[in-house]
Structure 1
Amino acid sequence: MTYLKKLCLLFATACLLSSCSADINDYKGTSPSFDLFEYFQGDIEAWGMVKDYTNQQTRRFHVKVHGDVDGDTLTLHEDFVYHDGETDTRVWTITREGDGRYIGKAGDIIGDATGQVVGNALQWQYDFRLKTDEREIDVHFDDWMYRQDERHLFNTTRITKWGIQVGEVTLFFAKQ
């Protein structure tokens, strides 16, 4: 097989494997059930890390989250403090669409975030404008949250560019 054919086959395989994702419906009937608005109402703290495409941890952070519910709208105020002292704030506005579906907006999110809750899990997907030292790049986030119990939630996120995984975020939430 020629070098070019091998390279094309390798690239096609990588794209196919990197585009695989769990199905939210696999969580039907799992418990505890995840009510997004109920969980994020009030004060929550989270601790997280970012890993790059080599699986190396590149950032650690702490987040204080405050959520307010008004009818079918959840407003989340997130205040980040990174291990290097950098701070950041994000404000999400999330609307309940019915049937476990949600639409969200935030300043550094491109377009709408879309999500669905089934059982104890939420799949949340959106495009994000990622700021690096040199420039800004647009990446895709495939965010999964798993309700563990009354107070705790795990969050794992695959970050992709052109369908290829370039990073990963892991968070642990504790409701205050």
Structure 2
Amino acid sequence: MHKCLIRWCKTWFVASAVVLLSSCSADLSDYRASTPKFDLFEYFHGDITAWGMVQDYTEQQTRRFEVQIRGEVNGNTLTLHEDFRYHDGETATRVWIITRQPDGRYLGTADDIIGTAVGEEMGNALRWRYDFLLKTDEHELQVHFDDWMYRQDEKHVFNISKITKWGVTLGQVTLFFTKEQ
């Protein structure tokens, strides 16, 4: 009976710690007063170069890449043409169609995005969430991306994306954007 109670207490403690730690995350309103103001359409209109890497759940770098981006704004629609070049020679293209909603949120679609991406900005931050069809050599896996973009200045944006499946972190993507003048 005593061992059973100790095991139950340990299990309860671990489960409580996991719930507590997983509920701790940044809130977009934390960036309300941060500057410069993030304006998705203004920043991504024109030519941008980005560099990034993918890390797995052990934080080991698994891929490196460069992206050439061309953004075109037409009213409440931003079209992003993204051309990826990976360190292993692979190339890929993604075209985002992003619309600004009357409530200030953004909705976006692309061929490898499942459903609709939703974005919100406040202060110098933009949070962008969507489901993605991740293709590996052996499988296709539906994962969730939680992107946080931070406007550093007129030319630079940092992006950290958590990749999860059923709430478990599978990896992370880190990007650095530079806007051409």
Decide: shared fold, TM above 0.5: yes
> For 1:42, which of 26, 42, 46 is the aligned residue?
46
SS of residue in 2 equivalent to 1:98: coil
For the residue of structure 2 that corresponds to 1:112, the secondary structure is strand
From 166, 169, 174, the equivalent of 1:170 is: 174
Q: 1:51 aligns with which of 48, 51, 55?
A: 55
Partners of 1:58 and 1:15 lie apart in 2 by 29
The worse-fitting range, judged by mean Cα deviation, of 21-30 and 118-127 is 21-30
What SS class does the counterpart of residue 26 from structure 1 fall into? helix
Which residue of the partner structure matches residue 152 of structure 2? 148
TM-score (norm 1): 0.93
Higher mean displacement: 9-18 or 121-130: 9-18
Residue 64 of structure 2: which of 60, 85, 98 is its match? 60
Partners of 2:121 and 2:160 in 1: how far apart?
15
Q: Is the 8 A contact 1:15 1:163 kept in 2?
A: no
Measured against aligned partners, the alpha-carbon deviations of 1:129-163 in whole angstroms (never above 9, x if no partner) come to 10011110011100000000010000000111110
**Aligned 1:119-138 pairs, distance under 5 A:** 119-138=123-142
- Name structure 1 gaps, 5 residues minimum: none
Distance 2:179 2:101 in 1: 24
Please say if 1:159 is aligned against 2:178: no
**Paired residue type of 1:172:** F
Q: 1:73 aligns with which of 51, 70, 77?
A: 77
Deviation at 1:11, TM superposition (A): 5.9
Name 2:117's counterpart in structure 1: 113
TM-aligned CA deviation for residue 17 of structure 1: 3.0
Q: Kindly tell me: are residues 70 and 156 of structure 1, through their superposed partners in 2, closer, same or farther at Cα, counting changes over 3 Å?
A: same
The whole-number CA distance in structure 1 between the counterparts of 2:32 and 2:117 is 22
| Partner Cα distance (1:143, 1:132) in 2 | 21
Larger Rg belongs to? 2
Q: Distance in 1 between matches of 2:115 and 2:20?
A: 25
Structure 1 residue 29 displacement after superposition: 1.6
The CA RMSD over aligned residues, in Å, is 1.7
Deviates more, 1:11-20 or 1:88-97: 11-20
**Structure 1: how far apart are the matches of 2:119 and 2:46?**
21
Structure 2 regions of 5+ residues with no counterpart?
1-5
- Paired with 2:103 and 2:164, the residues of 1 have a C-alpha distance of 28
- Looking at structure 1, the residues matched to 10 and 98 of structure 2 have their Cα atoms a distance apart, in angstroms, of 45
The separation in 2 between residues aligned to 1:10 and 1:121, in whole angstroms, is 33
Identity %: 65
Task: Work out the CA distance in 1 between the residues paired with 2:62 and 2:9.
Answer: 35
